Structure 1
Amino acid sequence: MKEQINLRNDQFNHAINKQDGVLLSQLYTADAVLYPPKQDVIHGREAIGLFFNEVFKMGVSKGSFKTIEMVVTADYAFESGEYGLWVAGNQLVAKGFYIYVWQFIEGEWYIISDIWND
């Protein structure tokens, strides 16, 4: 199960590096919740895609997310890790820690809750 989530994390990094909020949002459930720092809560896959597209418009062009700890149960997983975000010129603009709650739905893992700090 951890290997499957790690593959989903690779897809997450790929979508960020591609600057594709819609592709990124496909890793979330339809009713997922995003808790960005110092901002309103984002509800739902479509709103999450729009949020990330706005982040990319602000210049974020590269991301790195690395798992520190993961606990997997039958249908849920809890992941904590560290991240970094860069803009053009390889300038680090944000770094911190995150927590994802994953849910196993119809043979695939999806993020249902995502919170991070900076």
Structure 2
Amino acid sequence: MIQSRQVQLLFVLLLALLLGTGFMHGKSLEKDLDLVEERNEIFMETYKKLDPAGMSELYTADAKLLPPNSESVVGSDNLVSYWQAIMDTGISEIKLHTGDVERYGKALVEVSIAELHGEDGELVDKSKYIVIWKQERGTWKMYLDMFNSNMPVE
């Protein structure tokens, strides 16, 4: 009888531990999603100001931007040049729609959708992207940023 009671107590404790861990993990996921959405708002506001230096500051010092059909963009000066070139094409706004966010150790992985709009507000391109976020001096920044278009090739 004592063993049965101990087994029941152990089962209840393990169940409580598992449920507690699950609920805390769910809160962590919601917190991570909120964090990425907040950072994405800063990205959109910075781009809308047409501030290529500000865009560069959203990336870690060792970041890599992996755009389609071109070489990787590495380094702060190259990021500034890249974002200036994008702005020079007439893209006046980038709207990010945060999708999935998962935590892997000390990194966050985001898989989302972006819309690029021209000066007249028309949709110029729609793309999917993956960003790996990591903290740098207490601030979450983009470490790896890769995207490609959903639009058909003409």
In structure 1, what is the equivalent of residue 25 of structure 2? none
When normalised by structure 1's length, the TM-score is 0.93
Question: Whose strand fraction is larger, Structure 1's or Structure 2's?
Answer: 1
Q: Counterparts of 1:17 and 1:30 in 2: how far apart (Å)?
A: 23
1:45-94 deviation line (CA, Å, top 9, x unaligned):
22112100111011110110111100124421000100110111112111
Q: Counterparts of 1:4 and 1:69 in 2: how far apart (Å)?
A: 12
Query: Does residue 122 of structure 2 align to residue 98 of structure 1?
Result: no
Question: Whose helix fraction is larger, Structure 1's or Structure 2's?
Answer: 2
In structure 2, what is the equivalent of residue 52 of structure 1? 83
Identical columns (%) = 26
In structure 1, what is the equivalent of residue 17 of structure 2? none
Q: Which has the larger radius of gyration?
A: 2
* Secondary structure of the corresponding residue to residue 23 of structure 1: helix
Contact 1:71–1:78 under 8 Å retained in 2: yes
Larger RCO (CA within 8 A; separation ≥ 6): 1
Contact 1:99–1:115 under 8 Å retained in 2: yes
Query: Does residue 58 of structure 2 align to residue 27 of structure 1?
Result: yes
Q: Which runs of 5 or more residues in structure 2 are unaligned?
A: 1-30, 150-154
Q: Which runs of 5 or more residues in structure 1 are unaligned?
A: none
When normalised by structure 2's length, the TM-score is 0.72
Moved over 6 A (4+): none
Q: Counterparts of 2:98 and 2:52 in 1: how far apart (Å)?
A: 21
Deviates more, 1:56-65 or 1:67-76: 67-76
